[in-house]
Amino acid sequence: MTDDEIDRIARAFCARTLPKAEWTHAAHFATALWLILTRADILVERDMPAMIRSYNEAVGGVNSDTAGYHETITQASLHMTRRVLAGVPDGIMPCAALMLLLASPLGDKDWPYAYWTRERLMSKDARRAWVAPVLQDLPA
């Protein structure tokens, strides 16, 4: 994914015009990286939950106990994104940061199952609010 593609995806997500089919695992991380690297006015841990909920509704989705926004996965993904960014040089381009992130275990959409059981992560409690990992702690 190029910097221009990341920019397009992230801006379309923010405008709630990104086609639902383009809201992929990589697009989630690309958007998070773009927001962290280019939008100092947005605190992703605070603002992204409402942004995702709004986006989901704009593309015809729902935010329920079984679908749509997931607080634990979002906050864990943002934590891990910041962890990856902490290990790269200042001024890194979004596409280079995304390549590093996707080459890590985070590139596998099932990465959270190293930290949570499927049952716990897919619970309505974990969807609604932060639920701490049960298998091992997230890296600091």
98 closest CA partner among 39, 12, 36? 36
The reported pLDDT for the residue numbered 90 is: 86
Give me the helices (H) in 59-123, please.
71-86, 94-103, 118-121
| Cα–Cα dist 19/23, whole Å | 7
Measure the CA–CA gap between 38 and 93, rounded to whole angstroms: 10
Determine the pLDDT at residue 5: 98
This prediction has a pTM of 0.94
**DSSP code at position 92:** -
| Cβ neighbours for 97, distance < 8 A, ≥ 6 positions apart | 33, 37, 84, 85, 88
* Token pair for 46: 């605070």
Residue 14 · residue 5 · CB < 8 Å:
no
Q: How far is CA 50 from CA 2, 14, 21, 42, 88, in A?
A: 27, 11, 20, 12, 28
Please give the pLDDT value at position 91. 86
Q: For the chain, which ranges sit under pLDDT 70?
A: none
Which residues, other chains included, contact 93 with Cβ-Cβ below 8 Å and sequence gap of 6+? 3
State the Cα–Cα distance between residues 136 and 112, nearest whole angstrom. Answer: 10
3-state secondary structure of 43: coil
Q: What would the pLDDT profile of 23-60 be if each residue is shown by its tens digit?
A: 999 999 999 999 999 999 999 999 999 999 999 999 99
